[in-house]
Chains A and B, each alone.
Chain A
């Protein structure tokens, strides 16, 4: 067997090895982040700053996304429901879809596009201008100083932003329900509540849907920060490399968010509802 014949196999082998290496170093980064989150020194100032950056940077687009999503959900479903005279159930539909799925997922995708890309670009340019080497040289662990605060900040801010998205989406739906479908706000909100109460409660008062809708953003926040920081920290090849890292960060985070959403939903159904 000549070596040129074997090259696709060799290529596949190399590709698999590279992928395995990447997965390994991704989880290696996670391990270092977790370890430095519970040991000193801890960079509180950087955490506060990152929470501000992620929150403020994303608030506007999260609010707009929520508003239009809620409105379009109500509008779309009204067409069908009108036929059956069931517009009164609009709130159910908006509530369930927004809180269960669209709120967490759309928030995460928006934050990945806004804050995640920013993280990758910032760390990437710090990498290529040797600022990360300078940190190490000055006796500071770059993971502890740069990645851990971003990771924790995303973990904290994503659920907050998701709640904001949920509320605004429900509000957007209400706008349509009241203005275009002649429902009263009370009728609409009661129907939203019914949909949330439907799957039952956890800890007595918290609807399972709302709880599940808060577990997901925790995971998504971790994915966004870790993925973006991973690509940022491993940037190679000048300004072009920074662009590449930024794109890869957003694309990979988005795919990981959508994929993990499926498995999380499966898990939550298995744990909480069945």
Chain B
């Protein structure tokens, strides 16, 4: 996919969390979370079920607000930003939700084209071209799926449509919530390759939440491992494999 190269003023981290704490009632979901992702970097977030991985992505999208600490996206501190700034930041991000979150009243074409219909004045022909390009990117045959409703697709196909929708407006930051869970090994590899390709060719920064250690090691520049709401390890895949921390070792088994 073609995209203008990011402007050179963007040297700093694109996403930064500092000392973030989030609780639901008395349940501490996240505590002392801090990390940053620089442009063109792929960060994988690993951890068991319910440790707060999805919640981290929601914080970055400002769908959740931290009790304390700061979340900065593209240079904006989301806590102090107004609505307009948050909307602008969101438009430069793409999110693949854990359950795909396709709009079930809209056919696939309108789902994938949604960000373009909403925020651009592109002619229909151009939108069609881009939607098809995005669908082909995730190995879907647009002739077959374009006019179907989400309920007529399999889980794995929905996931890929969700990825197409997240990349169609060519965001600078992509957030993936378990993009490959429930997919066969071949499609998993395709999507892993896609994430790498987006980074190499378009300098897209990605944060990928996953259960799959192997694919994390394949695609990540850095890996963060979460345990009960805290980051207990952060480093390159090689560092992780070499780590002698007990929990890291146990997780890798």
Closest 8 pairs between A and B when the two form their complex, measured CB to CB: A130-B101, A134-B101, A139-B91, A130-B97, A137-B95, A138-B115, A131-B101, A139-B87
Partner of A134, one of B87, B93, B97, B119: B97
Determine if B181 is an interface residue (Cβ-Cβ < 8 Å): no
Question: Taking CB as reference atom, which chain A residue is nearest B62?
Answer: A136
Interface string of A124-160 (1 = CB under 8 A from B): 0010011101111111100000000000000000000
Residues of B in contact with A (beta carbons under 8 Å apart): 58, 61, 63, 87, 90-91, 93, 95, 97-99, 101-104, 114-115, 118-119, 165
Q: State in angstroms the CA–CA spacing of A137 and B115 once bound together.
A: 10
Q: Which residues of the partner chain A approach B118 to less than 8 Å between Cβ atoms?
A: 138-140
**Is the CB–CB distance between A129 and B63 below 8 Å?**
no
Q: State in angstroms the CA–CA spacing of A114 and B226 once bound together.
A: 46
Q: Is the interface of B mostly helix, strand, loop or mixed?
A: mixed
Question: Taking CB as reference atom, which chain A residue is nearest B54?
Answer: A130
Find the residue from B90, B98, B101, B114 having the highest chain A CB count within 10 A: B101
Q: Is the interface of A mostly helix, strand, loop or mixed?
A: helix
Partner of A136, one of B61, B103, B115, B165: B61
**Is the CB–CB distance between B90 and A137 below 8 Å?**
yes
Find the residue from A126, A129, A130, A134 having the highest chain B CB count within 10 A: A134
**Is the CB–CB distance between B103 and A131 below 8 Å?**
yes
Q: Which residues of the partner chain A approach B102 to less than 8 Å between Cβ atoms?
A: 131, 134
Q: A138-B90, A139-B91 in contact; A133/B97 too (CB < 8 A)? A: yes
Partner of A130, one of B91, B93, B98, B115: B98
Question: Taking CB as reference atom, which chain A residue is nearest B89?
Answer: A139
Q: Which residues of the partner chain B approach A130 to less than 8 Å between Cβ atoms?
A: 97-99, 101
**Is the CB–CB distance between B58 and A133 below 8 Å?**
yes
Q: State in angstroms the CA–CA spacing of A131 and B95 once bound together.
A: 12
Find the residue from A129, A130, A136, A138 having the highest chain B CB count within 10 A: A138
